[in-house]
């Protein structure tokens, strides 16, 4: 996973300060940019975005690049345990 911030092209989130409490904000999507971004960043048909707030108070959409660690199969775990045994 990279620490590089990847902004989501074509996605704009705006907080609605004067809206009722149940309205968090609005999402604007520039279709052409968003489609290109989604196609370039999809993994297994999905793109995950985080909505964040900058130090200046503006909201933005960032690509979530987190990926789980690969699961070890049973034989890898057994081999690791065997290496730990002192005899």
Domain locations in the chain?
Answer: 11-84
pLDDT band at 68 (very low <50, low <70, confident <90, very high): confident
pLDDT band at 52 (very low <50, low <70, confident <90, very high): very high
How confident is the model at residue 83, as a pLDDT? Answer: 61
- Taking the C-alpha atoms of residue 64 and residue 30, their distance in angstroms, rounded to an integer, is 19
Task: Evaluate whether 63 touches 6 at the Cβ level (below 8 Å).
Answer: yes
Residue 74 has pLDDT above 90, yes or no: no
* Mean pLDDT value across the chain: 87
- Among residues 27, 25, 29, 26, which one has the least CA distance to residue 10? 29
Residues 10-40: tens digit of each pLDDT: 999 998 889 999 999 999 999 999 999 999 9
In Å, what is the CA distance from 72 to each residue of 1, 28, 52, 75, 79? 19, 41, 33, 8, 11
Q: What are phi and psi of 34, to 5 degrees?
A: -65, -45
């Amino acid at each position: 996973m990279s620490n590089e911030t990847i902004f989501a092209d074509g996605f704009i989130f705006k907080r609605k300060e004067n809206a009722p409490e149940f309205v968090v904000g609005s999402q604007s999507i520039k279709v052409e940019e968003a489609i290109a971004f989604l196609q370039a960043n999809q993994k297994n048909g999905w793109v995950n975005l985080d909505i964040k707030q900058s130090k200046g108070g503006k909201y933005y959409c960032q690509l979530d690049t987190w990926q789980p660690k690969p699961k070890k199969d049973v034989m890898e775990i057994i081999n690791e345990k065997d290496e730990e045994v002192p005899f």
